[in-house]
Amino acid sequence: MKEARAHLGVETQRQWSDRAIARTTPALFGLFSLVTLLAHQQLAQHPEPMRQAAWSTKEGPTLVDALALVRRQLWPVQVFTPSPQPVGMAEIPRALYERFVDTFAYAG
């Protein structure tokens, strides 16, 4: 647990039992590793600029950037079959749709 806090800044876990705490940290490391690998693979195939603050620069993507990239990569994949019943739909311009996706991808 100390290593997790030192390396990733993982907070102290607050579960009901020591066994639950012992399961959480490895799961967080696994999820961090998966997001990092998926983002690295995506950036290697399709490099894209990361968000930059006007007052600060960064040399590479942060975990927030990696999460946003992976979210944008996974969201278009249809997992469930849509309902056969007609659903009311409203079309929006592509630029507005992309803006929404980008905004929600960075929402934490």
pLDDT tens by residue, 29-79? 888 889 999 999 998 998 877 788 888 888 888 888 899 999 988 888 877
pLDDT at 17 over 70: yes
Does 9 map to a domain?
yes
Structural domain that includes position 72:
2-80+90-106
Hey, what are 43's tokens? 């950036």
Q: Is residue 65 part of a domain?
A: yes
83, pLDDT greater than 80: no
CA 86 to chain centre: 31
Report whether pLDDT(7) > 70: no
Q: Give the CB-side neighbour count of residue 95, counting CA atoms within 13 A.
A: 0
Looking at the structure of the chain, the number of domains it has is 1
Q: Please give the share of the chain, as a percent, with pLDDT higher than 70.
A: 80
For residue 46, is it within any domain? yes
The answer to whether 21 and 11 have CB atoms below 8 angstroms apart is no
Assess if residue 85 is contained within a domain: no
